[in-house]
């Protein structure tokens, strides 16, 4: 049985990926410092899979602890590195926190990977590296634009750090550039649990419908899109989780063509904010309280993935619809709020 280290494995995307890894027969070790997650997520994973992953509560910023961890846990076959801070606005206010948490942790992990000959490394990147695209859908060859936030910059720098490492070591790596993950596991055992006021659209929608927020603000309807609201590529988190299992197998089976590969992970479909709201109202059979307000500074007008590379080379395709994802997000919100 292959042993996989999942950092940030109790977080939103990490927890769904741990489920898919265990369902696929991998042995999983999770590192998480619980800075943006709770131990209840571990219970959810165990309930879904019937398997208890090893869990190490550890802060990856602590180099000595990271080193100790790798001395204790030997024979790791691969690493999926989710652990990071991810709030764009917070990164503007506190850039050093983001550079430390997203870059130091990566460097320590890569150093240990090198020392212990762990040569398979999957990294959580983001479509944020593309900035405002020149053309749509966006391919992996599109230029990486000057980052508009320290968070986005950490993803760009991380990709460069990994590429440089792969060039001079035995390491093989895949960076998955996620588009907009939404939804929850159909079991409602795990899902997205933002701390404080949600910054992202779908958790804000579900919290508004659950009466935790009074009203959803739609940030601008004067964009150059069909209905004037911004367009994104919303991908079901379970589809995204499955992409990690496929990418991991590609590395473990030496099917990668380059030491460092990049894949877009999206649906290939763009949906506007109004389309998301309308779909949510339809699947939940209720009307949402929203109003149009000014644009949010820094928002990109439209971005959605060209998924041909992931489809053809990785052999991965999203399967679930946005309606599935919205229904699961609502089911999860209702469970959490005991509605
Ligand atoms: P999340 O915050 O839910 O999960 C991250 C997990 O990492 C949390 O459980 C947190 O406690 C842990 N963590 C953070 N810093 C740590 C540290 N120093 N040591 C140990 N554990 C630490 O986030 P997510 O949405 O699951 O995102 C996972 C990854 O995917 C991140 O790298 C994020 O930047 C990237 N990503 C997310 C999105 C998105 O919209 N959610 C989009 C693109 C990329
Ligand atoms: C989606 C759309 C908003 C909230 C962010 C990060 C990106 C990536 C994914 C990590 C936009 C609109 C939102 C609200 C709204 N994360 N909106 N009212 O901005 O595409 O991407 O998450 O890598 O880096 O920037 O996602 O969910 O915030 O917004 O109208 O209350 O919904 O304007 O058009 P975004 P989002």
Q: What is the ipTM of this complex?
A: 0.99
**Mean residue pLDDT across the chain:** 97
What CATH number is given to the structural domain containing 148? 3.40.50.720
Task: Give me the sign of the Cα torsion angle 48, 49, 50, 56.
Answer: negative
Mean pLDDT of 279-296: 97
Domain that holds residue 26: 3-182+235-266
Per-residue model confidence as pLDDT tens digits over 63-116: 999 999 999 999 999 999 999 999 999 999 999 999 999 999 999 999 999 999
pLDDT in tens, 40-64: 999 999 999 999 999 999 999 999 9
What pLDDT is recorded for position 42?
A: 98
Give tens-digit pLDDT for 149-185: 999 999 999 999 999 999 999 999 999 999 999 999 9
Closest CA to ligand 1's atom 35: 124
Q: Is residue 329 in some structural domain?
A: no
Peptide bond into 250 cis (omega under 30): no
* Ligand 2 atom nearest to CA at 202: 27
CA 139 → CA 56, 66, 133, 309, distances in Å? 37, 35, 10, 8
pLDDT at 335: 97
Spot the catalytic one: 130, 151, 178, 234.
151
pLDDT value, residue 204: 98
Q: Please give the share of the chain, as a percent, with pLDDT higher than 70.
A: 100
Does some domain include residue 313? Answer: no
Gap from CA of 303 to ligand 2 centroid (Å): 11
Q: Is residue 325 part of a domain?
A: no
Residue 298 lies in a domain: no
In a domain, 297, yes or no: no
What pTM was estimated for this model as a whole?
A: 0.98
Q: What is the number of the ligand 2 atom nearest to the C-alpha of 180?
A: 9
Q: How far apart are CA 203 and CA 222, in angstroms?
A: 23
> How many structural domains are present in the chain?
1
* Distance in Å, CA 137 to ligand 1 centroid: 26
3-state class percentages of the chain: helix first, strand second, coil last, to nearest 5: 40, 20, 40
């Amino acid at each position: 049985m292959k042993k996989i280290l999942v950092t940030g494995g109790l977080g939103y995307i990490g927890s769904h990926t741990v489920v898919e890894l265990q369902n696929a027969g991998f042995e999983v070790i999770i590192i998480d410092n619980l800075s943006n997650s709770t131990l209840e997520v571990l219970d959810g994973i165990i309930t879904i899979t019937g398997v208890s992953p090893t869990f190490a509560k550890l802060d990856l910023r602590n180099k000595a602890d990271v080193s100790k961890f790798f001395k204790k846990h030997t024979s790791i076959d691969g690493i999926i590195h989710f652990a990071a801070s991810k709030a764009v606005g917070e990164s503007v206010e506190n850039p050093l926190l983001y550079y430390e948490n997203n870059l130091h942790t990566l460097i320590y992990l890569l150093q240990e990977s090198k020392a212990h000959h762990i040569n398979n490394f999957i990294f959580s990147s983001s479509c944020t590296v593309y900035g405002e695209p020149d053309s749509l859908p966006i391919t992996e060859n599109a230029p990486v634009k000057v980052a508009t936030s320290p968070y986005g910059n950490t993803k760009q720098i991380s990709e460069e750090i990994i590429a440089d490492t792969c060039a001079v070591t035995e390491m093989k790596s895949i960076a998955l550039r996620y588009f907009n993950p939404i939804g929850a596991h159909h079991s409602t055992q795990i899902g997205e649990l933002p701390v404080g006021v949600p910054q992202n659209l779908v958790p804000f929608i579900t919290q508004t419908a659950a009466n935790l927020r009074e009203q959803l603000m739609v940030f601008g309807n004067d964009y150059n899109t069909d209905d004037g609201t911004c367009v994104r590529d919303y991908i079901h988190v379970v589809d995204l989780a499955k992409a990690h299992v496929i990418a991991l197998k590609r590395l473990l089976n030496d099917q990668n063509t380059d030491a460092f590969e990049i894949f877009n992970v999206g649906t290939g479909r763009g949906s506007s904010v109004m389309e998301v709201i309308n779909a949510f109202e339809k699947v939940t059979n209720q009307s949402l309280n929203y109003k149009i307000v000014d644009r949010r500074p820094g928002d990109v007008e439209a971005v959605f993935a060209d998924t041909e590379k992931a489809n053809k080379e990785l052999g991965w395709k999203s399967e679930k619809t946005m309606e599935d994802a919205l229904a699961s997000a609502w089911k999860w919100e209702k469970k959490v709020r005991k509605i």
